[in-house]
Amino acid sequence: MMDSRPFSVLLVSGDQVLLRQLTRFLELFGYEIRQAIDADQALAAAEVAGADFLLVEGELTTKPGLPFLRKIRSFAPGGYSYAVMLMESLEINVVTEGLETGYDDFLAKPVVFGDLLARLRAGARVMEFERRLTQQAGLDGLTGLPDANALTTLMKDHLANVKDRGKQESLGAISLIDLDYFSRIAARFGKEAGEVLLRKMAGLLSQACHFGELAASLGKDRFAVLFPTATEEQAAQWSHSFLASIAQREHVVGDKNIRITGSCGVVEFSRNLSVEKAIDIAGQVLALAKASGRNCVLTQQAWENDAESWNNLAGGGKLFSTTLARDVMIPCAVFLGIDETVEQGQAVLEQTQLSALPVVDREGKFAGLVTASQLKGKSSRPAKGRASGSVRMLRHHMITDTPRFDETSTLGELMEFFTGEHNSVAVILRDLRPSGLVYCQSLAALNERLVREHFVPSLPFSITSEYLRVPDLTTADAE
Q: Which range, of 97-106, 157-166, 401-410, averages the lowest pLDDT?
A: 157-166
The answer to whether 404 and 429 have CB atoms below 8 angstroms apart is yes
Q: Give the integer Cα–Cα distance in Å for 149 and 141.
A: 13
Residue 131 has pLDDT above 60, yes or no: yes
- pLDDT tens figures, 64-83: 778 888 888 888 887 789 99
Distances (CA, A) of 37 to 12, 57, 88, 254, 389: 6, 10, 18, 29, 85
- pLDDT tens figures, 280-303: 999 999 999 999 999 999 999 999
Residue 165 has pLDDT above 70, yes or no: no
The domain over range 8-137 is classified in CATH as 3.40.50.2300: yes
Which letter does DSSP use for residue 271 in this model?
T
Q: What is the domain partition of the chain in residue ranges?
A: 8-137, 148-314, 326-468
Predicted TM-score of the model (pTM): 0.71
361-364-368-371 Cα dihedral, nearest 10 degrees:
110
Q: What CATH number is given for 148-314 in this structure?
A: 3.30.70.270
Distances (CA, A) of 134 to 80, 128, 442: 12, 10, 56
If you average pLDDT over residues 401-412, what whole number do you get? 92
Q: What CATH number is given for 326-468 in this structure?
A: 3.10.580.10
Q: Give the integer Cα–Cα distance in Å for 196 and 39.
A: 23
Mean pLDDT of the chain: 86
278-282-284-285 Cα dihedral, nearest 10 degrees:
130
The answer to whether 178 and 263 have CB atoms below 8 angstroms apart is yes
- pLDDT tens figures, 245-275: 999 999 888 788 899 999 999 999 987 888 8
For the chain, the maximum distance between any two Cα atoms, rounded to a whole number of angstroms, is: 112
